[in-house]
Amino acid sequence: MTDRRLAWLFVLPAVGLVALVAIFPLGWTLWESLHLHDLRMPWRGRPFVGLENYLELLGDPRFRDAMLHTLLFAAVSVSLELALGLAVALGLDRAFRGRGIVRAAVLLPWAIPTVVAALLWRFMFESQAGIVNAALVSTGVVEEPVVWFVRAATAWVPVVLADVWKATPFVALLLLAGLQGIDRSLYEAAAVDGASRWWQLRHVTLPLLKPTILVALVFRTLDAFRVFDLIYVMTGGGPGTSTEPIALYTFDALLQNLRFGYGAALSVVVFLVTFTLALIYIRWLGAGESR
């Protein structure tokens, strides 16, 4: 019993810290979201309005669109990152000369600050003279330069590409670590039994890599769901609002329009969605481990 109490005593500082930096701000945001609080209209005061902000949110087409954009962006970019990351990891797992240098080089995009990377990609795709248009026109893929950021469908292309370029190294490195933890003798046994490489990948590598894949998936999905800087720099959410993710819309409500109540409601919804996603993944992870 004293041991238990002592244990509690030891965790107390950590719990206190978490309460201070995570639970308190969260509670505050929740409380704020139940108020009408518009910093630029002090004459309206800060009355308690219950769920009014949430009701407005449900009827707000821009919120609905932003949610949809975010989910689509997360689904597409994370799938691509996972597939490419796995391919890169498998490649890097082999023994070859200069492997150390290649591994370090692969990590480069991940090390570049997102805003800088976003600017680089924007310059490549922007304008008629951008490098991408120059390449596409000179190879005859298109006749006229594409104005990427002016149409909804084409504006997503550079955004997703930039995200994939930036995050794939992270996924690859994580998966590589997982790959190296797999016992080599399993492959030898499989080879002795006459299993092809493809069969080995499907029945040895992937099942054993599942926990690592899930970790990568959790990190990337949550990151993708909160995407902000990349899109803020590249399209600003345009054309119109057709590439606006939920984080950008929240920023707009909170910091451009200074609608703290409504912005808080948006933040709470974003939190709930990411939290639910995290819970689902953790369950999934736990299930994998117990077996």
> Residue written as tokens 């309005």?
49
Residues 150-189 that bind another protein (CB under 8 A): 150-152
Give the length of the chain. Answer: 291
Task: Check if the beta carbon of residue 254 is closer than 8 Å to that of residue 260.
Answer: yes
DSSP for residue 259: B
Is residue 208 involved in binding another protein (CB under 8 A)?
no
Out of 158, 178, 237, 263, which residue is the one contacting another protein (CB under 8 A)? 237
Q: Which stretch binds another protein (CB under 8 A): 38-46, 89-97, 107-115, 205-213?
A: 38-46
Whole-angstrom distance, CA of residue 247 vs CA of residue 77: 16
The minimum distance between CB 161 and another protein, in angstroms, equals 17
Q: Which stretch binds another protein (CB under 8 A): 7-15, 103-111, 186-194, 233-241?
A: 233-241
The minimum distance between CB 72 and another protein, in angstroms, equals 17
The minimum distance between CB 43 and another protein, in angstroms, equals 4
Query: Please, which residue, 128 or 196, has the CB nearer to another protein?
Result: 128
DSSP for residue 231: H
Out of 71, 76, 119, 147, which residue is the one contacting another protein (CB under 8 A)? 147
At 59 the three-state DSSP class reads coil
Residue burial 49-67, b: 16+ Cβ < 10 Å; e: rest: beebbbeebeeeeebebbb
Query: Six-digit token pair at 75?
Result: 């689904």
CA distances from 174 to 58, 81, 93, 118, 206 (A): 38, 12, 12, 23, 14
Hey, how many other C-beta atoms are within 10 angstroms of the C-beta on 84?
A: 17
- Kindly determine how many residues on this chain lie close enough to bind another protein according to the rule CB under 8 A: 28
The minimum distance between CB 158 and another protein, in angstroms, equals 12
Task: Check if the beta carbon of residue 263 is closer than 8 Å to that of residue 196.
Answer: no
Residues 54-113 that bind another protein (CB under 8 A): 62
Query: Please, which residue, 157 or 278, has the CB nearer to another protein?
Result: 157
Out of 239, 278, 281, 285, which residue is the one contacting another protein (CB under 8 A)? 239
Cis peptide before 158 (omega within 30 of 0): no
Question: What is the contact surface with another protein in residues (CB under 8 A)?
Answer: 38-44, 62, 126-128, 147, 149-152, 236-242, 252, 255-258
